[in-house]
Amino acid sequence: MTTEIEIKPTESELEILQILWEKKRCTVRDVHEVLTQNREAGYTTTLKLMQIMHEKGLVARDTSSKTHIYKALVNQQRTQQHLVSRMINNVFNGSASRMVMQALGNHKASKEELDAIKQYLDDLSNK
Amino acid sequence: MTTEIEIKPTESELEILQILWEKKRCTVRDVHEVLTQNREAGYTTTLKLMQIMHEKGLVARDTSSKTHIYKALVNQQRTQQHLVSRMINNVFNGSASRMVMQALGNHKASKEELDAIKQYLDDLSNK
DNA sequence: ATAAATCTACGAATGTATTCGTACAATGCA
DNA sequence: TGCATTGTACGAATACATTCGTAGATTTAT
């Protein structure tokens, strides 16, 4: 039996995690700059969020120089996995396929994406 | 341009919505009974939640008799759609196909489900 | 008719997310 | 050197979700 870990980043934390997953090592300012491309936010707000994420163990930070360097501690795949599973249960009564169809019906994937998914499905079937 | 509506039920509200989507017309007790099959909750807690949902316009209620009758006001499809889209953006950087693969890789769909999805994909391609 | 059960309304406590102001230290530059 | 800039720490305000106790009305059963 594996140890149960609660992976439950808030929405703001997820925004930041996505940036950290992308860019590996970031200062608060790095993150803040990306964040404010989309929406308004004060610098100390971003700072505070990242400090809280550190308390929670979502990120690690290197404090050896004045400007701290952050990186994600939680695994991208595992986190995504966890969140998708929760949504399947919470919103789709446990039916993965229903969610998949809902996602594809709406979100207009490109032909390449659709082909990739088909390929993936074939691989799954032949295992 | 369509009117922008914020669909953002909380987790508890989603639990209740799922019950209402399933059973159409419910009393608080009906909902409460289903709810407490899984977890602990006081009756007035469920009541309060449903009252708040009413304030928010998530549900309608018939108060003509002492025991009120509730039904969902928000559409199941639309709500699911909205939540899936948000997750794709929040967690998968906007890539629907990534989420789909994550969902299928984990949540072990049955052969029937996989076939249904393939069929669905073919239909999408041929449109 | 009276007591028990069932229901709604309401307020309050608790927990957590989010936002930002202020203080103060370190750094960079004129 | 002295001032502006950039950074962290911290506390506090606000908002919202969640939980439940209590009061009072209505219904049901004895």
What are A20-38's pLDDT values in tens digits?
Answer: 999 999 999 999 999 999 8
Nearest to B117 among A79, A91, A121 (CB): A121
In a domain, A1, yes or no: no
3-state helix, strand, coil in chain B (%, to 5): 65, 5, 30
Rounded to whole angstroms, how far apart are CA atoms B72 and B61?
9
Average pLDDT of the residues in A38-43 = 92
CA of B36 to C1' of C27 (A): 59
CA-based end-to-end distance of chain A: 25
Is B94 found in the same domain as B62? no
> Across residues A58-79, what is the average pLDDT?
95
B80/B46 same-domain check? no
Q: Environment class of residue B42 by beta-carbon count within 10 Å: exposed (0-12), middle (13-18) or buried (19+)?
A: exposed
State which residue of chain B sits closest to A100, comparing Cα positions: B100
Count other Cβ atoms within 10 Å, centred on residue B112: 9
d(CA B48, CA B51): 5
CB contacts, 8 Å: A88 with chain B:
103, 107
Question: What pLDDT, on a 0 to 100 scale, did the predictor assign at position A7?
Answer: 76
Q: Is B55 inside a domain boundary? A: yes
Residue A6 in this model has a pLDDT that exceeds 70: no
Q: Is residue A2 part of a domain?
A: no
Residue A16 has pLDDT above 90, yes or no: yes
**Is B2 within the bounds of a domain?**
no
Domain identity same for A63 and A90: no
In a domain, A109, yes or no: yes
Same domain? B16 vs B32 = yes
Do B48 and B80 lie in one domain? The reply is no
Could you tell me the CATH number of the domain that includes residue A57?
A: 1.10.10.10
Minimum mean pLDDT range among A39-43, A90-94, B36-40: A90-94
Domain that holds residue A52: 11-72
In this structure, what DSSP letter does residue A57 have? Answer: T
Residue A4 has pLDDT above 60, yes or no: no
Beta carbons of A80 and B88 less than 8 Å apart: no
Substitution target in A22, A117, A123, A127 with the highest count of B β-carbons within 10 Å is: A117
Residues B22 and B58 in one domain: yes
Same domain, B55 and B93: no
Q: Give me the pLDDT at residue B111, please.
A: 75
Q: How far apart are CA A111 and CA A108, in angstroms?
A: 9
pLDDT of residue B6: 66
| pLDDT(A1) > 50 | no
Asked whether the predicted pLDDT for residue A2 surpasses 60, the reply is no
pLDDT value at residue B79: 93
Residue A3 in any domain: the answer is: no
Q: Is B84 at the interface with chain A, CB within 8 A?
A: yes
Q: What is the least distance, in Å, from the CA of A65 to any CA of chain B?
A: 31
Query: Which of B83, B90, B2, B72 has the alpha carbon at shortest distance from A106?
Result: B83
Average pLDDT, chain A: 87
What is the C-alpha to C-alpha distance for residues A53 and B34, in angstroms, rounded to an integer? 35
Overall number of domains in chain B: 2
Residues B22 and B68 in one domain: yes
Same-domain pairing of B34 and B80: no
Residue A3 pLDDT > 50: no
User: How far is residue A97's CA from residue A105's CA, in Å, rounded to a whole number?
Assistant: 12
Q: State whether B51 and B38 are in the same domain.
A: yes
Same domain, B88 and B66: no
Phi-psi region of A70 (alpha: psi -120 to 50; beta: other; left: phi over 0): beta
The reply to whether B84 falls in a domain is yes
**Tens-level pLDDT at each residue, chain B (127 residues):** 444 456 799 999 999 999 999 999 999 999 999 999 988 999 999 999 999 999 999 999 999 999 999 999 999 999 999 999 889 888 988 888 888 888 887 656 677 777 888 888 788 766 6
C-beta neighbour count of A121 within 10 angstroms: 20
A contact test, residue of B35, B77, B107 with most A CBs within 10 A: B107
Is A40 part of a structural domain of the chain? Answer: yes
| Whether residue B103 is found in the same domain as residue B65 | no
Q: Which residues, other chains included, contact A16 with Cβ-Cβ below 8 Å and sequence gap of 6+?
A: A31, A35, A46, A49, A50, A53, A59
Q: Residue A106: pLDDT above 80?
A: no
